[in-house]
């Protein structure tokens, strides 16, 4: 797998010049190739884990390479590769590539399509679009490891007779991009309402059988886009049940982006975890104390050097409520994030 991306890039470099000398091959005309990469220079100014305090360095957190192809007026496909690292500040590993998306879509009508393969979970589409700064931080459900961003299965999405209402329903393995290891499945559904071109309300629900544990997630999202600004709010609840545990987690998030001028944006976000996250210490690049409730504040300035290239000086500050062992120390990360796309 490590050789996959270099081989793909090499084949592109060989194929495109050859196509430039002659007529482009049919696949080239119908295929869009895009890429995105982002990373940071980071400094950990404070941390609940004394071993991390004072750390600093350069990180290349993600690289995406995407192929979108239109096979016919009703059929399209996507193949996306991602390269990433563990993000635990301990593993000395190289970027590891894997398949992020691999799906085939059939657009049955203008308001209904079907998809099969590995695709993005329905809980993320609207929130990620409103937030718009994956390069700075993941959206809350992804960040807190509640829901995997990807699943392998089948999905149906579209709009109702009243186009202000949209929906999505999906059934998958519940194993993310990995192989299924049990007979349990995950079912999810979204119902959204857009009363105007700038406003959206959305409800999401899923249920997942993990074999040794059952999970149920509920989410409500509201957002608005205006001239030069956008903002959103999100509330989610997850129940985890197993023979050993019966756990309920709640979180809320509010975020906003303001455009000061064409190449300068301000961004801010507050996430509140109303319960300790038992998987908090496994969160990549931003480990949380797993024993206490937390509040995450994100603030930054996005300066675009080019329409496809930007830098985002930002801070991530986590404060904690008292836990069983007292109140954990704050976490304070100062970063200069960069992103590049084509």
The strand pair at 75-84 and 56-70 is best described as antiparallel
Q: Residue 8: what pLDDT?
A: 52
- Joined tokens for residue 90: 């301990």
Domain containing 167 equals 4-341
Q: Which helix (H) or strand (E) holds 142?
A: helix 140-143
Q: State the Cα angle at 211 between 210 and 215, rounded to 5°.
A: 35
Q: Residue 12: what pLDDT?
A: 53
Q: Which residues contact 340 (CB under 8 A, 6 or more apart)?
A: 36, 37, 38, 308, 309
* pLDDT (mean) for 24-31: 78
* pLDDT (mean) for 6-33: 62
pLDDT tens string 317-341? 999 999 998 999 999 999 999 999 9
Which pLDDT band, with edges at 50, 70 and 90, does 131 fall under? Answer: very high
* End-to-end CA separation in angstroms for the chain: 24
pLDDT tens string 234-274? 999 999 999 988 999 999 999 999 999 999 999 999 999 99
Is pLDDT at 7 greater than 50 in this prediction? Answer: no
Q: Which residues contact 294 (CB under 8 A, 6 or more apart)?
A: 272, 273, 276, 277, 280, 288, 318, 319, 320, 321
Q: Residue 21: what pLDDT?
A: 56
CA distance 14 to 333: 42
Query: What pairs with residue 247 in β-bridges?
Result: 240
CATH of the domain at 152: 2.40.160.10
User: Which string of DSSP letters, residue by residue, matches 8-36?
Assistant: HHHHHHHHHHHHHHSPPPHHHHTEEEEEE
Share of the chain above pLDDT 70, in %: 94
What global pTM score does this model have?
0.91
Q: Residue 16: what pLDDT?
A: 53
CA distance 233 to 221: 6
Q: Which residues contact 63 (CB under 8 A, 6 or more apart)?
A: 5, 35, 36, 37, 82, 83, 84, 95
Q: Residue 49: what pLDDT?
A: 97
User: Which string of DSSP letters, residue by residue, matches 259-328?
Assistant: EEETTEEEEEEEEEESS--TTGGG-SSSPPPTTS-EEEEEEEEEEEEETTEEEEEEEEEEEE--BTTBPP
pLDDT tens string 279-299? 999 999 999 999 999 999 999
Number of domains in the chain: 1
Which pLDDT band, with edges at 50, 70 and 90, does 187 fall under? Answer: very high
What counts of helices (H) and strands (E) characterise the chain? 4, 16
CA dihedral over 77, 83, 85, 87, signed as positive or negative: negative
Q: Which helix (H) or strand (E) holds 131?
A: helix 125-131
Is pLDDT at 19 greater than 60 in this prediction? Answer: no
Task: Please provide the average confidence, as pLDDT, over all residues in the chain.
Answer: 92
Place of tokens 């807190």: 144
Q: Which helix (H) or strand (E) holds 141?
A: helix 140-143
Q: Residue 239: what pLDDT?
A: 98
Q: Residue 107: what pLDDT?
A: 94
Is pLDDT at 210 greater than 60 in this prediction? Answer: yes
Q: Residue 191: what pLDDT?
A: 98
């Amino acid at each position: 797998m490590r050789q996959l991306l270099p081989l793909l890039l090499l084949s592109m470099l060989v194929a495109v010049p050859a196509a430039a000398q002659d007529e482009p091959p049919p696949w080239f005309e119908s295929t869009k190739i895009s890429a995105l990469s982002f990373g940071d220079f980071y400094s950990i100014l404070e941390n609940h884990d004394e071993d991390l305090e004072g750390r600093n360095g350069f990180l290349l957190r993600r690289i995406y390479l995407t192929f979108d192809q239109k096979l016919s007026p009703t059929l399209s496909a996507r193949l996306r590769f991602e390269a990433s690292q563990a993000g635990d500040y301990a593993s000395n590993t190289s970027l590891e590539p894997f398949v992020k998306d691999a799906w085939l879509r059939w657009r049955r009508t203008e308001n209904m399509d079907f998809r099969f393969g590995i695709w993005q979970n329905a809980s993320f589409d609207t929130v990620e679009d409103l937030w718009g700064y994956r390069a700075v931080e993941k959206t809350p459900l992804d960040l807190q490891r509640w829901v995997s961003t990807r699943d392998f299965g089948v999905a149906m999405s579209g709009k109702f007779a009243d186009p202000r209402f949209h929906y999505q329903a999906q059934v998958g393995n519940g194993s993310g991009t990995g192989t299924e290891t049990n007979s349990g499945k995950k079912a999810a559904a979204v119902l959204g309402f857009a009363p105007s071109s700038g406003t959206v309300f959305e409800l999401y629900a899923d249920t997942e059988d993990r074999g040794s544990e059952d999970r149920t997630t509920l989410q409500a999202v509201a957002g608005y886009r205006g001239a030069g600004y956008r903002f959103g709010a999100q509330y989610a609840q997850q129940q985890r049940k197993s023979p050993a545990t019966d756990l309920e987690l709640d979180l809320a998030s509010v975020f906003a982006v303001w455009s000061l001028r064409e190449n300068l944006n301000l961004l801010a976000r507050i996430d509140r975890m109303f319960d300790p996250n038992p998987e908090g210490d496994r969160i990549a690049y931003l480990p949380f104390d797993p024993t206490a409730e937390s509040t995450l504040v994100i603030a930054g300035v996005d300066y675009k050097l080019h329409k496809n290239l930007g830098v985002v000086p930002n801070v991530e500050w986590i404060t904690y409520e008292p836990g069983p062992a007292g109140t954990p120390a704050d976490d304070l990360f100062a970063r200069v994030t960069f992103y590049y796309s084509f």
